[in-house]
Structure 1
Amino acid sequence: MGLSNPSLTTLRDGRQLSYHLSGPDQSASTKGPIILLSNSLCTPYHMWHHFVPRLHELNFQVLQYNQIGHGESTVDPSTVDDTTFDTLADDVKQLLDSLKIQKLHAWVGISMGAATGIVFCAQNPGLVERLVICDTISCSPSALGAGDPFGPRVDAARSAGNLEATIEQTLARWFWEDWRKSHGEELHWMRSLMSKTKVEGFVACCAALRKMSFDLRPLFGKLGTSVDEILLVVGELDADLPQTMAIMRDGIQQGFEAAGKTDEVRLAIIKGAGHVSVVDGLEEYASVVTSFLTK
């Protein structure tokens, strides 16, 4: 499982965002449409390692990037608490502008990468044709009046000065015990990828997830006029997210209908998969998502 070397772009505030643009023939005068992949918390873009070749086989270009403080993307420790989904989406807009990309065939995001995609599409109508929303919550727990699960994790990571314990706890939440026992090599691969995340990068992204302003629900209606088609995907074993995303699907469907669209917004449930369904549910995930991207 080799690691591709990233490129870097410098953002307005001086931070660097790492990314990788790949395709079956990057030298061709006519290149395929672009799919952007957006990652879950604590993972760099290499988490899509097994999925990217499937997109290349379909003649798609693939743009991957690392959010603030993940992989080779840098972070300003003095501003980590200011991170929001608006700033995360703006980072991507700056990346696309630097690459002179004016249209994406699709944004495919998992977890916070899916939430970023919803914000991005609402802010940039018409730039993304298709949106794939995978395994994400619709708002911060605080917006629901619930407890804050991210605060203790941030405090623990800052106190330890590393993410070792955080990573082990995260892997246990993301992947069920039977899968972890039978996929030791893949689990080691994920652990090694996540270990490259900077503590302050983790803190920054948790800041976005914790804010009261993180509430995607008011944006559902805007998606009907922002993108052409939407697919929702969730792991069958991803806690209560199948139910949460069914409600999300209904809200987005209403936005489509209000915009005069007759397309059904589909929710696909990946059997036996947890929170990062492109990893432990790869075959079904790839089949469902590529069918949507090529229909």
Structure 2
Amino acid sequence: MASKISLPDSRTLSYVLDETPKGGPIVLLSNSLCAPFGAWDHFVKMLNSNGFRTLRYDQVGHGQSSSPPELNTTFDSMAADVYALLQALNISSLHGWVGVSMGAAKGVCFVSKYPKIVRKLVICDTISASPVNLGGADVFGPRVVAAREVGHLEDAIQSTLDRWFGKAWLEENPKEADRVRNVMRGTTLDGFEACCHALRSSSFDLRPILKDVGSSVEDALCVVGEKDANLPQTMDEMREEIEAGFRASGKDNIIRLEVIKNAGHVCFIDGLEQFSEIVVRWLTKH
């Protein structure tokens, strides 16, 4: 059952913090666009069975979290929302942050802005900057326009599912596909536009702050779905920058990029078994 806090600007943020296993270290799970926190349900069970509690939350306009009057959300503003949540819950440190897609980018922003709170950062399937900053076309603006024109997100949800998983996986896993689709329907149009604003903004660029990860956390891990477009290559470049930041901080951490076989953009769903094995083992060590 989700709880809510009131943010400084009077928006509400919905979240759920596991009560059990009692006293277990807390791992925060940070979501992708168009995916309220229910998307993590299966992975939560894996973490709980290995002694971890999870803290999940819904970003702007997702689930029961409200949207601001001005849909000018940025990654810095979303990181500030998480900081406000931790303060409200009197949580001074997190054992881990596991983020996928924009939830991973948000993790990098969070640890650079609020260092020494997150011990272990898992960065999954994220671009390093907005498409425009990377020299490409804006893919998010047209998606917002299309959704606004029809007045709903059903088409956007279906195209996102196709992009994340591929039609073959969706046909072979109809029950899980329906579960994820129903979770995604908890996204509002305003929330979709607000988060797309962050993703397409000129302010979204992780590249200058990747070097800060090493001085902000104890360890980091990169994870990517094998079938997630060109992200296996670009995330390896990200891994190199993060590792260089650890070196600059006097740490000898080897930062790994784990590739989840036959998985796509949300590899904790279609690659659940391998993803869980890798991430839980990494979170458990020292």
Name the TM-score class by shorter chain: over 0.9
Deviations 1:186-211 (A, max 9, x none): 10111111111000000000000001
Q: Which residue in the other structure is 1:165 paired with?
A: 155
Asked if 1:200 corresponds to 2:196, the answer is no
Q: Which amino acid aligns with 1:233?
A: V
> SS state of the match for residue 72, structure 1?
coil
Residue 89 of structure 1: aligned partner: 79
Q: Secondary structure at the match of 2:70?
A: helix
Amino acid paired to 1:14: S
Residue pair 1:139, 1:215 contacting (<8 A) in 2 also: yes
Among 32, 40, 47, the alignment partner of 2:39 is: 47
- The alignment partner of 1:49 has SS state of helix
Higher mean displacement: 50-59 or 34-43: 50-59
Structural mapping, 1:71-110, within 5 Å = 71-76=63-68, 78-80=69-71, 82-110=72-100
CA distance in 2, matches of 1:273, 1:144: 24
What is the rounded CA distance, in whole Å, between the counterparts of 2:115 and 2:66 in structure 1?
28
Q: Quote the RMSD (CA, aligned, Å).
A: 0.8
Question: How far off its partner does 1:23 sit?
Answer: 4.0
Which one of the candidate residues 108, 115, 136 is aligned to 1:146? 136
Where has structure 1 moved over 2 Å in runs of 4 or more? none
Structure 2: distance between partners of 1:144 and 1:286: 31
Once residues 174 and 52 of structure 2 are traced to their aligned partners in structure 1, the CA distance between those partners, rounded to angstroms, is 31
Written as runs of structure 1 = structure 2, the 5 A alignment for 1:108-119 is 108-119=98-109
Match of 2:250 among 260, 274, 280: 260
Alignment partner for residue 18 of structure 1, among 14, 19, 26? 14
Residue type of the alignment partner of 1:161 = G
- Superposition deviation, residue 24 in structure 1: 2.4
Question: Which residue of 2 is the match for residue 7 of structure 1?
Answer: 3
Aligned to 1:227: 217
2:265 corresponds to which of 251, 271, 275: 275
Report SS of the residue matched to 1:162: coil
Counterpart of 1:67 in structure 2 is: 59
- TM-score with structure 1 setting the length: 0.95
Give, in angstroms, the shift of residue 138 of structure 1.
0.3
Give the 3-state SS of the residue equivalent to 2:217 in structure 1.
coil
- The aligned residue for residue 24 of structure 2 is 32
Separation in 2, partners of 1:189, 1:58: 24
Aligned to 2:234, the other structure's residue is in SS state helix
**Kept in 2: contact 1:24–1:57 (CA 8 A):** no
Q: Corresponding residue for 2:235?
A: 245
1:132-152 deviations in Å (ceiling 9; x for gaps) = 000000000110221000011
Q: Which amino acid aligns with 1:10?
A: S
Distance 1:255 1:225 in 2: 7
Tell me how far 1:58 sits from its aligned partner.
1.8
What percentage of residue pairs aligned between the two structures are identical? 51
Q: Is the 8 A contact 1:23 1:56 kept in 2?
A: no
TM-score of the superposed pair, with normalisation by structure 2? 0.98
Give 1:155 deviation, angstroms.
0.3
User: What are the superposed Cα offsets for residues 77-102 of structure 1, whole Å, 9 maximum, x if unpaired?
Assistant: x311x210000100000000000000
Matched residue, 1:125: 115
CA shift digits 1:8-67 (9 cap, x unpaired): 000011100000000424xx5xx1111000001000101011010111112211100000
- 1:157 Cα deviation (Å)? 1.0
Distance 2:207 2:189 in 1: 29
1:210 is matched with which residue: 196, 200, 207? 200
Partner-residue secondary structure (3-state), 1:136? coil
Gapped runs of 5+ residues in structure 1? none
Deviation at 1:265, TM superposition (A): 0.5
Task: Give the whole-Å Cα distance in 2 for the aligned partners of 1:288 and 1:163.
Answer: 33
